[in-house]
Structure 1
């Protein structure tokens, strides 16, 4: 089962990562100025993750693949790692759909 891990960046902002059951990071958030905003971002990911139309599939300039998960208002709420193949990216999307809705939330010190 997946989990959201909240951490603090060096600049004091909060950020979350969605990790799959095997510990691999499958989605990373932007920086948030407050813990409550970060927690709201997690709730937005949980809500939007099952909806395929919320995923923006992208190809980088170097020909690699990534995706963004967007909220209903179009704002990016999470970004994937870079994948070597289109199928890897699509597997990453499926992993977010599977792991995010019921993932526990933990905070790192």
Structure 2
């Protein structure tokens, strides 16, 4: 089962990573100024992850596929790693869909 891990960046901002059951990071958030805003981002991922239309399938300048997960207002709530192939990116999206809804939260900032 997946989990959200909340950490603090060196600049003091909070961020979360969604990790799959195998421990691999499958989605990373932006930086948040408060832990409450970070928790809100996690709730937004849980709410939006199952909707395939919320995923922007993109390609980096170096040709690597990746994706962003967007909220209903169009704001990016999480970004993936760079993948080696389009099929690997699709597997990453499926992993977010499968893991996000009932993922536990591991707050490593307290």
TM-score (norm 2): 0.98
CA distance in structure 2 between the aligned counterparts of 1:7 and 1:60, rounded to whole angstroms? 26
Q: Distance in 2 between matches of 1:88 and 1:75?
A: 24
| CA RMSD in angstroms, aligned pairs only | 0.5
The match for 1:7 is 7
Residue ranges of structure 1 left out of the alignment (5+ in a row): none
Task: Map residues 1-109 of structure 1 onto 2, 5 A cutoff.
Answer: 1-109=1-109
Gaps in structure 2 of 5+ consecutive residues: none
Secondary structure of the 1:7 match is strand
Kindly state the Cα deviation for residue 103 of structure 1 after the two structures are TM-superposed. Answer: 0.1
The SS at the match of 1:56 is strand
**CA-CA distance at 1:108 after TM superposition:** 1.1
* Count of residue pairs the alignment pairs up: 109
